[in-house]
Amino acid sequence: QVQLVESGGGLVQAGGSLRLSCSASISTASSKAIGWYRQAPGKQRELVARISDSTNYADSVKGRFTISRDNAKNTVYLQMNSLKPEDTGVYYCNVNRWDRWGTLVDYWGQGTQVTVSS
């Protein structure tokens, strides 16, 4: 019954901004790591931003994107500024945490489409 639901995607012109949200039915506070990934058509899924022991970003988004979380609401955010056409893709929320048997498990949302036009 674990659910991660992304929202906030859409169509935006280059230079614009969007904020993605991921609402989780599980605790983000107790998670090993939380993050955002994206996948462009015909390409593999890639890391965009992640919070674990530290915060890290893909080189292509450094200085433009910011990942954050509200543990009280079990929600993860991705603020995206100065968007470029190459940012276009489906963005997925990811939560990595221990299950009841002590095994690390990845949970994924259904994805939200982000399209940046020229």
Judge whether residue 1 has pLDDT over 80.
Answer: no
Helix, strand or coil, per DSSP, at residue 77: strand
Helix, strand or coil, per DSSP, at residue 53: coil
Alpha-carbon dihedral angle through residues 73, 24, 1, 90, given to the nearest 10 degrees: 160
Q: How far apart are CA 86 and CA 53, in angstroms?
A: 28
Choose the most confident range, by mean pLDDT, from 1-5, 24-28, 102-106, 114-118.
Answer: 114-118
Q: What is the chain's mean pLDDT, rounded?
A: 95
Helix, strand or coil, per DSSP, at residue 86: helix
> For residue 71, what are the β-bridge partners?
none
Output the furthest CA–CA distance in the chain (Å, rounded).
48
